[in-house]
Each structure stands twice: as structure tokens, then as C-alpha cells.
Amino acid sequence: MTIEAQRIRLLNDAEPNEKGRYVLYLMQQANRARFNPALELAVEEGNRLGLPVVACFGLLDGSNGFPEAKARHYAFLLQGLSDAATGLEKRGIGFVMRKCSPAEIAIDLAQDAAILVLDRGYLSIQKRWYGEISKGVKTRIVQVEGDVVVPLDVASDKHEYAARTLRPKIRRHLDEFLNGLGEREVKHPARALKLKSEIDISDPDKVLDGMTLDRSVPPVSRFTGGESEARRRLKRYLAGPFAHYGEERGKPEAGAASHMSPYLHFGQISPVEIALAVRRAGEASAEDKDAYIEELVVRRELAMNHVHHTEHYDRFASAVPDWAQKTLAEHKADKREHRYSEKQLADGDTHDHYWNVAMAEMRETGYMHNHLRMYWAKKILEWSPSAEEGFKRTLALNNRYFLDGRDANSFTNVAWVYGLHDRPWQRRPIFGTVRYQSENSLRKIDAEAYERDVDKLVKAERRRKG
């Protein structure tokens, strides 16, 4: 299948380097060897120019580590890279990995490249890398957008007010971009190049042990990284729990969640691949499929739209709309019956038993069901000395423990708690007219069944850690 032209853009006016020895692909946002439009474009270009393809990855470490990333996140990332490297080797594509920034490895290896192909991401750190690469690379640079279904600029050229304003724009283009992506034959294998990698990613645990990073949040056994595991999970999910998604997706104890978010976060599976598989699922109803596509495409790409069009999306003053800041400020002095420190929150040491249970799932396993994430975050706002402090705490805990933290969805969902993409509601203490969520929302779930599930998960993690 042809890669849609709207996914591709040139970042400079340079011609391909006639002396280039290979086509270079910087693997950064899409860490997979299959269903990766940037990689497939690199293969097309390599075949056209009679050159092999080399993929590269810059692993941030030590003081230059990825912001807020802990051992938990790096373990999952490295597992995925090991899987991707195996897939690349099978296809005859070279792979070079070094301890440096993505920009540094791209700029260095691009000296011998005919063309440099990039992914597209929307976080400020990624944009900074692209800027450094554009300044430091003299050959042609092509960027391919493979982390969304509908390309960002096709869907909208402005910051969208809410899901309801973006939804019709997404739906208008959805079928246009829900296309399969076959593997291109690699006509010129890279083995003869004999490029050496600084890092042997075949043993991700060993690589992790050799890194200088924050190990206060350890890896988890509940999730194993990699595109192979992502596809296995998706296949099992669509053959079973998905048939009840529309009815039970709001119940964490029902097992109706797909758990694809960590794999999407690390680029280990394509959202297009998931959407196509969802549409083909035989047991699910049209309503189930539509509800899943709403979350996967509309809600997820609304988050990309937000961070792309908001310069300081990680700050309360920039991310939270004016009306919400105003009403929260008006209620800043309201009495707070319960106040907790960030440490008490992290330890699950509050008066709210089921909030503590949800925090235990998050802290110990790196995941929490979306329904409970909303309740969890609203309570942090309620229990913090100010809305600004609550925002900081929510984002810090979110990014510290969640495997899928630190991405566009994280920054957007935290800001949603404080009024982003929402409207004024009934006025209440502390919240003003920002949406409130009470303990009554837990009546919609079987909280005792959820606690039993979490208890099993936490015990399994603690057994593994010894």
C-alpha cells in the first residue's frame, strides 16, 4: 500500500547526497520494524537509489536521560528495541545504537547517508531534536508521520477547543488514512556495511544494568515491551474481551481494556494497525468498534493537537484554560477537609481506601484503568493546597509511575482534570465550576472485585522483585 503523501514532508531543500552509502532512518517515535511508514519510506528510497537502509537509535543516559524517565520506562523501551532490532536484522536492515541524543547520532551517521528519514513527534524535546538535526545535517531530510491515524495538520491547523470540535474533522478523513502497510522488500541488505553498534541490545536487561538512571521506580513484570508482545496482546484482546468493550469499558474489574497504551506510547505498535484490526474484529458490535476508535483516534489525537499548539503544555498557567484558572483562583481559600503531601499520595496513605488501591496498582504495576485515573486525579486537586500545586503533583506522579506517562496523552489528561477541553459545571467548593468527581462514581464499578484484582497484581510484582 502506498504511504499517503500527507504523512510525508521535506524538512529542507537539500538534494540527496550522491556519495551516500546508505539511507538512514532515525528510529525515535516509532520503535518497530513492521507497520512503520517512516521505515518503509526509507526502504523505498534505498531500493530506488540502490542503497541499503540503516536504522539508528540514540539512547539518553545519565544526566542527559529522557526527562522524568525511570528504570521502569527504560526497561520497557529496551525490551521493545531488542525486539525491533531482531525484526530489522531479519529484513536486512542495519541497526546502530549509541548512548547519546537522537540528534547526535542522526547528525553523525547522516554524514555518510544519501537521505535521512525521521519520525514525527509533538513534544517540545522532540521538536528541539528535529531543529538540531535540520541545522546539522546537509543531506535531504524527510519526515514521516506514523504515530497518528489522521495526520495532525490534515485534521486541524489550530488548537481545538474540545473533542466535539475535532471529532468531525477526524471522522471526515478517517477512511482516507486507515490503510494497510505492507513490508517493502529490502533489495540491498546492510550486512556488507559492517557498521558497529555501541550497544548490544540483544540483552536488554544487561543494557539496563549498565545505565546511569533513577532506579527508584523499578521495572514491572505485568507488561513486556516489544511489537511482538503488542500484537499478541491485541490478538488475544480482540478475540475475547473486546466483544464487551462498549458495555464494560468503564469497569476496571471487567477486563475490557486492551492495555495498548504503553505500546502506543513507546511506538511499538501503530494506531493504524490497531484500528484496522478493531474494524476486522468479528465478535464485536459496531458500537464496540466505534467506541474504541473514539478513544484510539479522536481522544488520542486531540492530545497531540494540544501539545503541538501549546508551548508550555506542562505548566498550569499555559495548559489550563483562562475560565478554569479564574474559577479555581476564586476558590483557592476554600477549606480542604483533607490535605496530603506528595509522599503521602505516592504511598497511598490517604483516608480514601479505594483511591489507595488504585494508587497501589499504579505504583506497583505501571497502569491504572482510565475510569479510575480520572477519579484519582480529581482527588489530588481536592486534597492539594492549591490548584497549581495539585497540577504539579498529578503530573509528577503520572509521569513517575505510569508506563504510558510523559507523553501527549499524559500532559493533556492532567490538564483536563483542571478544565482543559471541558466546560463549566455546577459550582462547588475548591473546584469552582471545574468538573467535580465524587466517591459516588465508584458505585458504577465493583470496587471489591477491583481490589482483589489489584491485590493479585501487586503480590505478583513483589514476588518478582523478591
Residue 57 CA: distances (Å) to CA of 27, 30, 75, 419: 5, 11, 15, 37
Q: What is the mean pLDDT of residues 241-264?
A: 85
Of the candidates 179, 170, 120, 166, the residue with the CA atom closest to the CA atom of residue 150: 170
Neighbours of 44 (CB within 10 A): 16
Round to whole Å and give the CA distance between 67 and 72.
13
109: β partners: none
pLDDT at 251: 78
Q: Find out whether 145 and 272 touch, Cβ atoms under 8 Å.
A: no
Neighbours of 451 (CB within 10 A): 18
pLDDT band at 310 (very low <50, low <70, confident <90, very high): very high
Q: What is the mean pLDDT of residues 435-440?
A: 90
Burial label for 317, CB within 10 Å (0-12, 13-18, 19+), is: exposed
Of the candidates 187, 182, 216, the residue with the CA atom closest to the CA atom of residue 343: 216
Does residue 255 have a pLDDT over 90?
no
Q: Residue 448: CB partners within 8 Å, gap ≥ 6?
A: none
Q: What is the per-residue pLDDT across 115-142, written as a single tens digit (0 to 9) for each? A: 999 999 999 999 999 999 999 999 999 9
Burial label for 318, CB within 10 Å (0-12, 13-18, 19+), is: exposed
316-465 CATH fold: DNA Cyclobutane Dipyrimidine Photolyase, subunit A; domain 3 (1.10.579)
pLDDT band at 440 (very low <50, low <70, confident <90, very high): confident
Does residue 248 have a pLDDT over 70?
yes
Q: What is the mean pLDDT of residues 237-266?
A: 87
pLDDT at 63: 81
Q: What is the per-residue pLDDT across 399-428, written as a single tens digit (0 to 9) for each? A: 999 999 999 999 999 999 999 999 999 999
Between 241 and 3, whose confidence is greater? 3
pLDDT at 270: 98
Does residue 370 have a pLDDT over 90?
no
Round to whole Å and give the CA distance between 391 and 216.
22
Ranges of H-type helices in 50-186: 71-91, 102-109, 124-136, 152-155, 163-177
Q: Which CATH number fits domain 1-146: 3.40.50.300, 3.40.50.620, 3.40.30.10, 3.40.50.2000?
A: 3.40.50.620
118: β partners: 26, 143
Ranges of H-type helices in 143-193: 152-155, 163-177
What radius of gyration, in Å, describes the C-alpha atoms of the chain? 22
Residue 184 CA: distances (Å) to CA of 44, 226, 275, 343: 7, 21, 21, 51
pLDDT at 133: 98
Q: What is the mean pLDDT of residues 87-116?
A: 98
Round to whole Å and give the CA distance between 37 and 42.
9
Q: What is the per-residue pLDDT across 176-189, written as a single tens digit (0 to 9) for each? A: 999 999 999 999 99
Round to whole Å and give the CA distance between 390 and 394.
6
Residue 292 CA: distances (Å) to CA of 77, 235, 253, 296: 25, 15, 18, 6
Strands 8-10 and 140-144: antiparallel
Residue 68 CA: distances (Å) to CA of 109, 128, 204, 217, 396: 28, 17, 20, 11, 8
Round to whole Å and give the CA distance between 389 and 380.
9
* Residue extents of the structural domains in the chain: 1-146, 148-184+227-309, 316-465
148-184+227-309 CATH fold: 1.25.40
Residue 117 CA: distances (Å) to CA of 8, 82, 105, 112, 308: 10, 21, 13, 13, 21
H/E stretch holding 97: strand 94-98
Task: Return the half-sphere exposure (C-beta side, CA atoms, 13 A cut-off) of residue 213.
Answer: 25
Q: What is the mean pLDDT of residues 282-290?
A: 87
- Side-by-side strand order, sheet with 22-26: 8-10, 140-144, 113-118, 22-26, 53-58, 94-98
pLDDT at 188: 97
Q: Which residue is associated with the grid cell 490517604? A: 350
Task: Return the half-sphere exposure (C-beta side, CA atoms, 13 A cut-off) of residue 192.
Answer: 7
Say which range, 255-259, 353-357, 399-403, 446-450, has the weakest mean pLDDT. 255-259
pLDDT at 254: 65
User: Average per-residue pLDDT in the chain?
Assistant: 95
Q: Find out whether 383 and 345 touch, Cβ atoms under 8 Å.
A: yes
Task: Return the half-sphere exposure (C-beta side, CA atoms, 13 A cut-off) of residue 312.
Answer: 6
